[in-house]
Structure 1
Amino acid sequence: MSTVRESVEVGVPLHTAYNQWTQFTEFPRFMEGVDQVTQVDDRHNHWATSIAGVHREFDTEIVDQLPDERIAWRTTSGDVQQQGLVTFEPVDERHTRVNLAMVFEPSGMAEKAADMTGTLDRRVKGDLRRFKDFIEQRGEAEGAWRGRISPADRGAPNRSDPIRTEPIRSQPIHKPRRHVREDESASPRGRRPHRSAPSRASPWDRIAREIRSCSSGHTRSKLGIWVLKRRLR
């Protein structure tokens, strides 16, 4: 597995940078080698790319999306194996830092050669630079999708689906309540201590925090990417 990490500061407010990035069908306008992105629904996109002379098509799934903060994805079909996270940090009211981290597996000789020579890193860096030029020239996003997608949504019906596809669940079996004697309830042994349910923080929340905590200035450390790569397995 290989990793790519790049960042860029764009001269637009946080919500503008984030809103534009949610317009996946516009990616070919600033991403090198991306021929077309077709949005299937809120979580899924179909990609057609031509990189190093090799044409590939694959599908991706958004696994975590929090407005004005992050978008995380993974591939679900095709020859491309890729997972990534893009985060958005306000620098001030008019500037935003966009951080991109990707973990991927080069699948062909051309891609492996591009990875070894640093071509892929330069391509991603160029994509972010072109995104900066793209959004700064316009000054505003061409659209926006500000819905929330959490890891718990995976496997749930798409919000855009007209028909619910949830499986029918059997009704729970209610057992008769055991009668507790007054003397038993009064004894410490008879009582069951109340246990609060453990908090279920999103794994992407932790990943984003750890990447930020491992950063030095504007450069993401190798430890931050190691954490991302380990969590994505």
Structure 2
Amino acid sequence: MRFANFVETIDVGMPLSVVYNAWTTYDSWPDFMKKAEHAKFNEDDGTAEMKGQVFWSHRSWEATIVQQVPDDHIVWRSTGEKGHLDGAVSFHPLGDRLTRMVIVVEYHPQGFFEKTGNIWRAVGRRLRLELKHFVRHVMTEVILDPDSVEGWRGEIRDEEIVRTHDEVVEEEQAEEEQAEEEPEDSSEEDAPDDEAPAEAEAEAEEEPVEEDEDEPEDEGEAVEEDEDEPEDEGEAVEEEPVEEDEDEPEDEGEASEEEEQSEERPRTRRKARSR
């Protein structure tokens, strides 16, 4: 069986959870979608009954949600006498107040009107138009009081409800309360840790001060020792040359006197011989 595939992307200027809640308020679709005449969602089994207008005729579908994860994606299958729609929609946060929706729809037509409309891609144009109606609804009505739009936040896996709407809401509220309490607890726990480094820094600052005070004393003693050494060396140097200088001239004087005496002795001997 041939089918038509449609992929549409649209951005909504509201937070992710608000857009998701507005989309999953299935019963209100006929209020803003032009061709949706009736919509009813059964929370007990995750099915929906849809009725819409196709050209001049009216068609009904029964949709079953195969998988639904809050604030993430929804996948559904449907059946109908004159064709049906299967598809998926996913939600992607682009910012604090901007959400992108990606819709993929497979249209399986049955009947003369459906096949004729499929030739002209009428379903694709209708899908784009209904998405614009949804954006207008969110940006003009939901934006005024976003908390009043609750939607259906249950979780479905393999066509079975694993978490009901109330269970998911309670879990989300508990997580929000815990997230609000965590900063206070963490700040109290961090206080002792901050004091410990401060004490360590104070001790580290005191230790180097003591070392700096001791070091100069050692250096001063070393300097004094160095000053004493030159005195000893100076004394040694002064005594040795003084003794040598004094002795040398004395020796020279004595030597000169002996030489004179030796010269006088031969003269006296010569005079005696001459006599």
The separation in 1 between residues aligned to 2:82 and 2:111, in whole angstroms, is: 9
Pair 1:9 & 2:11 matched: yes
2:94 to 82, 88, 91: 91
Q: Is 2:75 the counterpart of 1:72? A: yes
Residues 64 and 78 of structure 2 are in contact (CA less than 8 Å); yes or no, is this contact kept in structure 1? Answer: yes
Task: Indicate which of 106, 126, 130 corresponds to 2:129.
Answer: 126
Shift of 1:134: 0.3
Q: Where in structure 1 do 4 or more consecutive aligned residues deviate above 6 Å? A: none
TM-fit CA distance, 1:40 = 2.6
1:159 is displaced (CA, Å) by: 6.2
Task: Indicate whether 1:147 and 2:154 are aligned.
Answer: yes
> Equivalent residue of 1:12, what SS?
coil
Q: Which runs of 5+ in 2 are unaligned?
A: 166-275
For residues 25 and 65 of structure 1, what CA distance do their matches in structure 2 show? 17
- C-alpha contact (below 8 Å) 1:60/1:77 kept by paired residues: no
Q: Secondary structure at the match of 1:125?
A: helix
Q: In structure 2, how many angstroms separate the alpha carbons of the residues matched to 1:31 and 1:109?
A: 24
The answer (yes or no) to whether the contact 1:7–1:128 under 8 Å persists in 2 is: no
Contact 1:46–1:57, Cα closer than 8 Å, also in 2 = yes
3-state DSSP of counterpart to 2:116? helix
2:136, 2:79 → 1: CA distance?
31
Residues 27 and 41, structure 2, Cα contact 8 Å, conserved in 1: yes
Displacement of 1:30 in angstroms is: 2.7
Alpha-carbon offset, residue 152 of structure 1: 6.1
CA contact (8 A) 2:82 2:114 kept: no
Moved more, 22-31 or 137-146: 137-146
Task: Return the structure number with greater helix share.
Answer: 2
> What does 1:44-55 correspond to in 2, within 5 Å?
44-55=47-58
**1:175-207 CA-partner distances (Å, limit 9, x unpaired):** xxxxxxxxxxxxxxxxxxxxxxxxxxxxxxxxx
* Distance in 2, Cα, partners of 1:44 & 1:128: 21
Preserved contact between residue 20 and residue 135 of structure 1 (Cα < 8 Å): yes
Give the match's secondary structure for 1:145.
coil
CA RMSD of aligned residues (A): 2.2
Distance in 2 between the 1:152 and 1:77 partners? 18
Distance 1:39 1:52, change over 3 A: same
2:131 is paired with a residue of what secondary structure? helix
Residue identity opposite 1:149 in structure 2: I
1:114 equivalent in structure 2: 117
What do residues 111-152 of structure 1 show as CA deviations (whole Å, max 9, x unaligned)?
222221122111100111111110011212622221110116
Secondary structure at 1:149 match in 2 = strand
Separation in structure 1 between the aligned mates of residue 42 and residue 80 of structure 2, nearest angstrom = 14
Gaps of 5+ in 1: 161-233
Between Structure 1 and Structure 2, whose CA radius of gyration is higher?
A: 2
What is the TM-score normalised by the length of structure 2? Answer: 0.53
Q: Which amino acid is 1:89 matched to?
A: H
Cα pair 1:10 1:132 within 8 Å, conserved: yes
The letter for the 2-side match of 1:52 is F
Is 2:14–2:99's contact at 8 Å kept on the other side of the alignment?
Answer: yes
Q: Distance in 1 between matches of 2:115 and 2:66?
A: 27
SS in 1 for 2:155: coil
- Aligned in 2, Cα 1:44/1:152: closer, same or farther, shift over 3 Å? closer
Counterpart in the other structure of 2:251: none
Report the equivalent of 1:62: 65
Match for 1:41: what amino acid?
A: E
Alpha-carbon distance in 2 for matches of 1:95, 1:86: 16
CA distance in 1, matches of 2:38, 2:125: 21
Higher relative CO (Cα under 8 Å, sequence separation at least 6) belongs to 1
1:81 and 1:125 map into 2 onto residues whose CA distance is 18
In structure 1, the residue matched to 2:34 is 32
